[in-house]
Homo-oligomer: A and B are copies of this chain.
Amino acid sequence: MDEIDLQILRILKANSRTTSSDISKMIHLSVPSIAERIRKLEKNGVIDQFTVKLNRRAMGQHCIVYIFVQLDGSAETHKFREAIVQSEHVLECHHTSGEYDYLLKVALAEISELEGFIMHTLKANHNIVRSNTVFILSTLKEE
């Protein structure tokens, strides 16, 4: 990965539909070269996927919360992991250091759905010692 690759990545991050011929005009490199570099960036796993960023409000996700979760040490964590990862409400799930074990980023249509999520998805058959929910009031930056 050289400086040219980084330029290409920057352009694609801003707009993944930018064509190789468009990029060619921007960075003065031939179209086949650019196409090949993009192929390699994909093959090497630098580019995970081409995707679209959806507007949460337009998608009806008006309530975004972070939930910290502490698991019972004796719990079989893989069942918890499976249930969480499969939930369509869970945008992110990280294993964390510190006071808690996991940090979830959760999207809900509205706040009234939170209780159901915590009761039925989060605490259903998982030995959760405690959890702590942080509400997002507004978002200044989100890549």
The residues of A with any CB-CB pair to B shorter than 8 Å are 1, 9, 12-17, 44-55, 58-59, 64, 66, 81, 84-85, 90-98, 103, 134-143
Contacts and interface: CB of A to CB of B under 8 A. Distances in A.
Given A58-B45, A66-B103, A141-B90, A96 B134 contact: yes
Given A13-B52, A52-B13, A97 B47 contact: no
Contacts of A91: 141-143
A138 B46 contact: no
Most buried by B among A44, A54, A135, A136: A54
Contacts of A59: 46
A97 B45 contact: no
A127 to B, nearest CB: 18
Contacts of A143: 91-92
A137 B49 CA distance: 23
A59 B12 CA distance: 14
Contacts of A96: 66, 134-137
B137 A97 contact: yes
A62 to B, nearest CB: 14
